[in-house]
Structure formats: C-alpha cells, structure tokens
Structure 1
Amino acid sequence: MLYREAGQFKASYEADQQIFPILQDRIGVMLLIGFFALAVPLFADQYWLKAILIPVLIFSLAAIGLNILTGYAGQLSLGSAAFMAVGAFGAYNFMLRIDGMPFLVAILLGGLCAALVGVMFGLPSLRIKGFYLAVATLAAQFFIVWALVKIEWFSNYSSSGVITAQQIEILGFAFEGPQSKYLLTLFVVVMMALAAKNMVRSTTGRSWMAVRDMDVAAEVIGIRLMRTKLTAFAVSSFYCGVAGALYAYTYIGTVEPEGFNLDLSFKILFMIIIGGVGSIMGSFLGAAFIVLLPIALDVFVPMLLGDLVSSSFVSNLQLIVFGGLIVFFLIVEPHGLARLWQIGKEKLRLWPFPH
C-alpha cells in the first residue's frame, strides 16, 4: 500500500519528466545514497571498503559505459577494458606532466582521451554490425594494450611498464585512507550515474534506442546514424575511461597495461548480461553480483564441504557458476536482475490485490 503514485499530481512538464517521478522512489534513492555516504564509512572495515565496495562502484561505472553502447545503442563491444586503460594512463600522464593539475580534471581529461579513442574505433560501426563489430572492438582491445606496452612514454619509461598512481589531493585535502577514497569514488559514480540516467531519457538517448531497435527506420525518420553511433561510442568510452582512472587511483594504486586484458572486458560484459542490458540499475546489480559471487564461493564452499574440496576446485567452481548463470539469464530472464527488480516493484504497486 505504501508504493503507490495515486494522488501524486504533476503540475508542470518538468515535474512529470523527473528522473524519479514517484515520491517513494526519490525518498528511497536519497536514503540509499545517504546510507552509503554516511553509515558505510563509519561501520565498514578496511577490507570491505578496499576489496568490495570500491571495486563494485568502479565496475558499476564501467558497466554503465558498456550498457550505454550495447544496451541502449545496440552496438556490441569487447574493448571496455582497453578504454579503461586509456583513461588510467591518460589521467596518470596529465597528473605527471602538468604541474598543479587537479585530480578531478585529470580523470575527466583521461575520460576524454578514451572517448576520442572510442570514436576512432567506433568508425567501423558505420558499415558493420553485430558479430563483426564485436571483432572490430576486439582489435581495439589488443591494439591499445600493445601500444601502452610498446610505447614507453605512456608509462614514463618504467622498465616494468607499471605505473604508480600519484597521491590524490583535492582543494588541499589528501585522499589517503580507504574511507576518503571510497567517498570520492562514490561521489564520482553517483554523479555520473545520474547523468547517464538523464541522458538515456533525452533526445540523444531516444536516438540511441531507435538505432538499436531498427537502424533503417531510424534513418528514415531523420536520425543521423553516423552521429548517433559515434556519440554512443564516445560517451561509453568516456565512462569506461573515468572508471579506469578511478581503478588506478582509488583501487589498485599501481597498474600495468596487462591488467586491462580481455578477461576484464568479458567480466564487464557479464555484468550487464546478469544485471540487465539497457538498465542503469542493472549495471550496479551486475557489478555487485560479479564482485561478491567469488568472495561468497570462497567463504561458503569450504565452510560447507570442509576438507573435501581444494582451492583449485573452488576457483573452477567459480567459472562453472559464472557460465551457468549467464546461460540461465540469457534463456530465462534476458533482461537480468533489473527486470526481476522491476517485476517486484510492479507486484508491490498492486499488492494486496490479485495479479
């Protein structure tokens, strides 16, 4: 009975077009953000902040970027990790080579570098689609990692190719502990997630979805395919680039090009498959699921089976569970966890009446 929009009248077009038009949704989102911003840093220990919450937020941002391209614009990509690498190395070089470069400006510039690279590798989407486009973005994955390894300037001529992220400092405040880095990551991710939610509801987002559903019909009604597809590649790569910069600065601290390999690209793809293709909420659910599942298996499988299983069995079990879940969601619920959440909300809105 509490989750109803009855009696919530809209007196203006702006009120009707809010990101969260139902009052209960607005209150719920504010409470959720307040919980993660105020309560979590007080009660979560260092392990939870560094090993679970920060990577969930960063991978959620990368999944949002891939969801914009694949879920909303319908363009397949297997190069998300490579664009994250461009953002990480771009932010590192901006911080290194420009004195007094603000950190937030550096990660935005790193994201812009990733957007430019994404547009360049998005040009084949004007002629090819589907599996062939995925192969083209796979070439970007290998080429970018190869370039970062072979061109030593990007890693400041490090013999190992590993870069060490500089200290984060904003307005004279140094972000050193896990609490401060978590709050910084949370702030960036929340702002960009709300921007993405607004973007997919705008004219640009509707153009993406029209091209996704039927590009020929979209072109007939006046949507420019080239601009729409390249915009999707640019925005998606920008989000992945910012996620890569946060991955280097607030999570790992030291990164190498091989850390952004094809396995990471597939992991981000699995996040949107399990979480929900074409859903901002699904990006968060999928990232949380992919990050928490291996930890849960490592903890509960030995607890349940004891000495009967080895560590290699648990690691292989993770791969089996991942594969099984992907097949399950593709067959049973193609829209992922986000669709299950939406179904639950619809049932709540009708309760206690029969469905």
Structure 2
Amino acid sequence: MTAIGTDTIEGFGSTDETARSWLRIALAVALLAGLAAVPLVANDYWLNAVLIPFLIMSLTALGLNLLMGYAGQASLGSGGFMAVGAYATYNILLRLPELPLPVNLLLGGVISGLVGVIAGLPSLRIKGFYLVASTLAAQFVLEWLFNQYGWFSNYSTSSSISAPRLAILGHDLSSPTGRYLLTLATVAIVTVVAIRLVRSQTGRTWMAIRDMDTAASVIGIPVAAGKLKAFFVSSLVIGIAGALWAFAYLGTVDARSFNLDRSFQVMFAIIIGGMGSISGNYVGAAFMILLPILLDHVGGAVFGGAIDPGQLENLQKALFGALIVWFLIKEPRGLAALLSRAWTQLASRFER
C-alpha cells in the first residue's frame, strides 16, 4: 500500500518551522481546553449521544490508521479487537477490583494487542486483499468466541457485559460528565503517545514498510518485527477504545455490538479523514458520527411526517453513502488534506 496521506498536523503556511511547531502546540492546547470546558455548556444528550461516541470513534480510527495509514497493513478486524478490549477489561475489573481503572484499561488494551499480533502473523506471508480476508476471519472468530463461551461474560444468559462502577481515586465517573472526561483524558494521552510514536524510529520503520517492504528489507529494516509491532500497537489502541465504547458509552454490550459493521465504520472514518494522518482520524470520526445526526434532523425538518420513518432512514443512508463516494472522488487523500490546504491558503492571505 502506497502512501495515501501525510500527517496533516502540518502545512500551516509559515516558513519558520519553529513558529509552526509553537502554533501547533498552541492550537492543540486551546482545543483541549475547549473540549475540557464542554461539560459546562453541553447537556447530557450532547455528552452521551454525540461527544463520547465521537471521541471513542476517533480513538478507534487512530488505532487502525497506525496500522493501515502508517504501516500499510490492511485490516478489517477492528470490531473484533474492540470486543477483545471490552471483554478483557471487564474481566480484569471483575476479578482484580483492587487495580485502578487506568491500569485496567491499559491491561485490556495489552491483551487486545497480543491478540492482534496473532491475527497479524499472516502479514508475514501475505498482503493486500488476502490480508484483509485474514483479518476478516479474525473478526468472525472473535465474535463467535465471545458469544459461545460464557466465561468471558461471567456466564450472563445474554452473553452481554455491563459496565462496572467507574471510579478513579474514589471519584465516581458514572455521570455523563465523568464518562466524558474519562474518555477525553484517555484520547488525549493516547494521541500524544501516537504522535511521538509515528515521529520516532518506529514510525519511520512503519512508513518504509508501507512504501515498499522489499526495499526496506534490503536496507536492513526488520520488516517482520515492524509489521507485528504495528499490529500490536494498533490493536492495543483499538482495545482501549472498545472498553470505552462498552463502559463509557453504551453501558452494556455483547459481541454483536462489535460486528463487521463496526469494522467498516472505522475503516470509512480513516479513509474519509485521511490515511497516514493523525488529525484525519478526528475529522473522519466527526463525519461518521455527526453527519447521520445532521441528516436525521434535516430530514425530519424538511419532510416532517410526510415520509414513512423507515423510508426516511433508507434515504438518509443512501445520501450518506453518496457523500462518502463524492468525498473519495473529490479528495482521495481525505478531508484532513482538504482542510490543511484551506488553512494554508488562509494563512498565506494573512501573511501578505
């Protein structure tokens, strides 16, 4: 898989690299401060139905983008790795309640990462469509496993798991504000780590493998280790996102909550946002989460009760799909690249 995008935390229009770096930092701090202040003005609906799923979808897209956008390894098993993270974190919380919540989330992510390494072993021999088929098989196997064996769900009759009490240092996080801040803090920390990772030697190794793994092997880059490391880190991040999806968003889930549709949703998010781009994950997640809500409100306002709700939902899905195709044709590098160019043009006008 060739390079499809670049890290679009760049291109702010200044010729001074130091100035651009400080501008990026200032913008990131301002954005984080704004997001942290959201609970002061947002109601429970916005926190529960919009912002929390947006942040978790962004985190899931980040995990898949590290694998596909930076390391060039195709995967369609994101939903399965989310399920691993959710069930692993649930069992750790259940059986080791003395561990703090952040440690539980990290351990659940590590278990998901180890499963991702196993699922990534075929990447040492195959690539492209065949690797997609391999990860798709992992998706189906994991979904079947959690439905088939009751131990994972503590022998629940419905094979579902419910969120335990969420607390850090005695502070209850079960309220919408608490769950939002937990999700925001997790996403912010993982994003900072991911940015440093892709700019490190590991990230350069992944991009060399992505561009041409044969040439990378010739110049001495450990291709096999690089691919498996990409699967581990990607699945770790996706596993943490799966735990947050189960506990901070839905509250109770079963393996069907992480089905193939979820895997496609994550893949669409990084394709639309921009592969090989950190900021593209958030743009793509916003598109996937916010646009259906917007279409629902617009459709209700325009058509009212004149159209059957089922037909209106199908119309919204068709329009949503058409917009995805249009964006892919208009800007194959993703919306993040489009926004980056717009920012560059705007900044250049102010410099004149």
Q: TM-score, normalised by structure 1?
A: 0.93
Other-structure match for 1:15: none
Structure 1, gaps ≥5 residues long: 11-19
Q: Residue 164 of structure 2 aligns to a residue in which SS?
A: coil
Q: Is 1:44 equivalent to 2:71 in the alignment?
A: no
The Cα offsets for residues 24-77 of structure 1, whole Å up to 9 and x where unpaired, read as 222111111101102x11000000000000000001000000000111111111
Q: Does 1:22 align with 2:21?
A: yes
1:273–1:329 contact (8 Å) kept in structure 2: no
Higher normalized contact order (CA 8 Å, seq sep 6+, divided by chain length)? 2
Structure 1 counterpart of 2:237? 239
**CA drift at 1:301:** 1.2
Are the aligned partners of 1:297 and 1:314 in contact in 2 as well (CA < 8 Å)? Answer: no
Map 1:1-355 to 2 at 5 A.
Answer: 5=14, 21-38=20-37, 40-351=38-349
**Alignment partner, residue 9 of structure 2:** none
Q: How many residues align?
A: 341
Q: What's the secondary structure of 1:214's corresponding residue?
A: helix
The separation in 2 between residues aligned to 1:121 and 1:37, in whole angstroms, is: 36
Question: Percentage identity across aligned positions?
Answer: 50
User: Do the aligned partners of 1:110 and 1:241 also contact (CA within 8 Å) in 2?
Assistant: yes
Are the counterparts in 2 of residues 83 and 240 from structure 1 also a CA contact under 8 Å? Answer: yes
| Distance in 2 separating the partners of 1:95 and 1:230 | 28
Distance 1:81 1:93 in 2: 18
What CA RMSD, in Å, does the superposition of the two structures yield over aligned residues? 1.6
Distance 1:4 1:290 in 2: 28
2:201 maps to a residue whose letter is T
Report the CA distance between 1:309 and its aligned residue.
2.1
Shift of 1:220: 1.1
CA shift for structure 1 position 199: 0.8
Kindly state the Cα deviation for residue 248 of structure 1 after the two structures are TM-superposed. 1.2
CA shift digits 1:119-163 (9 cap, x unpaired): 001000011100110000000000001011111100001111011
C-alpha distance 228-9 of structure 1, shift in aligned 2 (>3 A): closer
Select between 325-334 and 200-209 the one with higher mean Cα deviation. 325-334
TM superposition shift of 1:294: 1.2
Cα distance in 1 for partners of 2:259, 2:113 equals 19
Within 2, Cα distance between the matches of 1:199 and 1:336? 22
**Matches of 2:212 and 2:315 in 1, distance apart?**
40
Which SS does the other structure have where 1:75 is aligned?
coil
Q: Distance in 2 between matches of 1:352 and 1:171?
A: 48
